[in-house]
Amino acid sequence: MNKPDHIREVVLQPGEFHFGDENTRIRTLLGSCVSITMWHPQRKIGGMCHYMIPSRNVPQVKMLDGRYADEAMEMFIRQIKAFGTHPSEYKVKAFGGGNMFPDIARNCACLVGETSEDCTSVSCRNTGTARSIIAMHGLEIEAHDLGGEGHRNIVFDIWSGHVWVRQAKVIKRRSAP
């Protein structure tokens, strides 16, 4: 996972989005947030978002905001069109949506990689949104690591399309005797 010297490294904070070329590595740290990566294998371009919640439920927005899944996906679509490509030409991967408080949400569907309309957990809603928003654009998820417990470190190498994931489980606290 060493990066060549000429590679520019971009670190995404929550709500940020980046689209770049083969001279770019993008990394982020996810808890209940989700990152979607899109990569064009022939052109060696792609991007990553780090969204926090599914939507802000506002019909018209002046500026897109990467904190929201629906707007982050629109940011992808705009960049894809700006590069003269089509969304169907991209490999799509999704990561994150870890339950950071498993003692509170023991029966959350996202803990086992499922989704539920009834779940109020942010992590569960984020994982379900990733799947649905990708499908809504006629795309398929090539690879994913969604749900479960704990945070993930994500590294996306645009020159190869590889996404590296390291997940750390939540350390459960013991009750005082």
Q: What is the mean pLDDT of residues 146-173?
A: 90
pLDDT on residue 175: 57
Taking Cα atoms as reference points, which of 144, 135, 142, 138 lies closest to residue 167? Answer: 144
Residue 169: per-residue pLDDT: 75
User: What pLDDT score does 174 carry?
Assistant: 58
pLDDT at 106: 56
Domain architecture of the chain: domains with CATH: 8-168 (3.30.1330.200)
* 29-57 pLDDT per residue, tens: 999 999 999 999 999 999 999 999 999 98
Reported as a single tens digit per residue, the pLDDT across 102-150 is: 776 555 555 555 555 566 688 889 999 999 999 999 999 999 999 888 8
pTM, two decimals, is 0.88
Q: What is the pLDDT of residue 100?
A: 84
Confidence at residue 131, expressed as pLDDT on a 0 to 100 scale? 95
Predicted confidence (pLDDT) at residue 75 exceeds the cutoff of 90: yes
3-state SS track over the chain: CCCCCCCEEEECCCCCEEEECCCEEEEEEECCCEEEEEEECCCCEEEEEEECECCCCCCCCCCCCCCEHHHHHHHHHHHHHHCCCCHHHCEEEEEECCECCCCCCCCCHHHHCCCCCCCCCHHHHHHHHHHHHHHHCCCCEEEEEECCECEEEEEEECCCCEEEEEEECCCCCCCCC
